[in-house]
Amino acid sequence: MGATEAVTDANFASDVLQSDTPVLVDFWAEWCGPCRKVDTLLEEIASEMGDKVRIVKLNIDENPETTRAYRVMSAPTLTMFKGGEPVQSIVGARPKSDLVKLIETAL
C-alpha cells in the first residue's frame, strides 16, 4: 500500500462503496490549483496510513455521474467513506493535520 489510486464512475461502487477498508475520496480536477497542493499531502498520508485507509482520486470532469450523485460542487472535495456510506466531507485545500483528522473520523 501507500499510494493513491484513481477511481471512475465505472468502478466507484466496487472500489469505494464495497471496500472493507475506510476510503478517502479526493474529488479533484486537472484545472484546480488547490487540488495539486492537496495531492502532495494525500500521497504522504497514503504512505503513512496506507494500512488503515485507502485514498482514491476521482476526476470530477471525467466522472460526472459520481460527482453528481454526491453533490460535489467544488474541487477539491474530500469525502470519507466507511461501510459504503459518506461519513464526513471537507471542501478546499486544508493542512495535513485536518486531512488526518478527517480520516481518523472513520477509523
Catalytic residue among 7, 16, 25, 35: 35
Distance (Å, whole) CA 49 – CA 62: 28
Q: How many angstroms separate the CA atoms of 70 and 72, rounded?
A: 6
In this structure, what C-alpha cell is assigned to residue 22?
475506510
Query: Which member of 16, 24, 29, 32 is catalytic?
Result: 32
Question: Is 35 annotated in the active site?
Answer: yes
| 17 classed as catalytic | no
d(CA 60, CA 30): 9
Q: Which residues are catalytic?
A: 32, 35
